[in-house]
Amino acid sequence: METKERLTSLDAFRGFTIAGMMLVNNPGSWSNIYPQLKHAEWHGWTFTDWIFPFFLFIVGVAMVFSFSKVTTEEKNKVYIKIIKRALLIYAFGFFLSGFPYFNLSKIRVVGVLQRISFCYFFTSIIYLNTKSYKSRVGWILFLLFFYWAVMEFFSVPGIGAGLYEKGKNFSNWFDSITLTGHMWSQTKTWDPEGIFSTLPAIATTLFGVLTGEFIRSKKSENEKTIYLFFTGQIFLLIGLIWDNYLPINKSLWTSSYSVFMTGWALVVLSFLYFLIDVKGYKKYAKPLVIFGLNPLIVFILAGVFARLMGLIKIQTEPEKFISLHQYLYHNYFTQVGSPINASLLWAICFMLLMYLISWGMWKKKIILKV
């Protein structure tokens, strides 16, 4: 049976991921957050650590549906589109890194959108230039094991080899050399979206490619559901076993993290695929689908809006000013519950505001594609 080219469950998966991102990125107070709504301190994982790899996994799955009919004669034109799209995504990321001051001497040159642009570009090139499942698996294994080998055996000057401590490992050391002065302000000496750790992130995107190819296969929908779910369980098991030798770590995007989060992505997608595309509960998935229609625009708007709320000042007393965020949060949200629940309520309201924008764009049939 041929798979429909529009995979509603993938749109819903994207919307679910956007909703999760809004919740974890926009608490009322960074001092009051439920543990699952913030990243693991270093090794380990939380719900928050699902978000970024899910995005990259989805990029890989969607890529198969976008490029599946590209002929050899069309490749050159497609390459140009890939380069333009990657550069545009990077430019948006660069804009958010600098907004609103754009201090080029200190601006962060890597970040979430920048990593997405790198992964999209390199995965697209690999996909269009490999014709077999085995060759794509070969690329994944190379990226994962090359990363592991370098992290394990390269002796970092003054530190040594095989260490995975914060700031004391090859990936962070490589950042300190290649990204000097242009890293995340909260770390300064290394970056959670650094250069070397992008390699296993590309592997995450390639796992999405393999999944997309499987979904487009002629297997029955029930078979696909079962394979997706149980393959996800296998990946989770491999990731947990590997964790004993190479810690699961989002900030380093370790190979074990790539495998483990692919496992979760497969499990979540299997449920959504079964409920939405197999059982046909599409009307219940509509809110998630709407949220996932303009992910890049929503991400940019959320970033700009959140920062503007921190920049706009409200005068509360003579010569005393607080941000619009602080004013609204302390005057309206902290009054309705405990500090941690007030912080969560703010995040939920922020998410609903972004959803309202997405809904308005959907009603006007506005879908902005990069």
Helix-then-strand count for the chain, H and E: 13, 2
Residues 6+ apart with CB under 8 A from 51: 17, 20, 21, 24
320 bridge partner residues: 317
What pTM did the predictor assign? 0.94
- 110-153 per-position pLDDT tens digit: 999 999 999 999 999 999 999 888 999 999 999 999 999 999 99
One-letter amino acid at 262 equals T
Name the residue with higher pLDDT: 186 or 311: 311
The reported pLDDT for the residue numbered 3 is: 41
Contact 48, 38 (CB under 8 A): yes
Contact 213, 231 (CB under 8 A): no
Residue that has been written with the tokens 């041929």 in this structure: 2
* Mean pLDDT (whole number) for 300-322: 91
Of 136, 120, 126, 139, the C-alpha closest to 82 is 120
Q: Report the SS3 class of residue 315.
A: strand
Per this entry, what is the length of the chain?
A: 370
- Residues 359, 212: Cα–Cα separation, whole Å: 27
Instruction: Kindly give the interhelix angle for 255-272 and 133-153, rounded to the nearest 10 degrees.
Output: 140
- Residues 349, 28: Cα–Cα separation, whole Å: 10
Residues 6+ apart with CB under 8 A from 271: 229
Structure tokens at 80: 């140009």
Give the rounded percent of residues in the chain with a pLDDT score beyond 70.
99
Q: Report the SS3 class of residue 181.
A: coil
- 51-108 per-position pLDDT tens digit: 999 999 999 999 999 887 777 778 888 999 999 999 999 999 999 999 988 989 889 9
What φ, ψ does residue 24 adopt, rounded to 5°? -85, -25
- 228-268 per-position pLDDT tens digit: 999 999 999 999 999 999 999 999 999 999 999 999 999 99
- Residues 201, 78: Cα–Cα separation, whole Å: 23
- Residues 265, 358: Cα–Cα separation, whole Å: 24
User: CA distances (Å), 215 to each of 42, 225, 277, 284, 331, in order?
Assistant: 34, 9, 11, 22, 50
The reported pLDDT for the residue numbered 297 is: 93
The reported pLDDT for the residue numbered 5 is: 57
The reported pLDDT for the residue numbered 165 is: 95
Structure tokens at 6: 């529009």
- Residues 71, 73: Cα–Cα separation, whole Å: 5
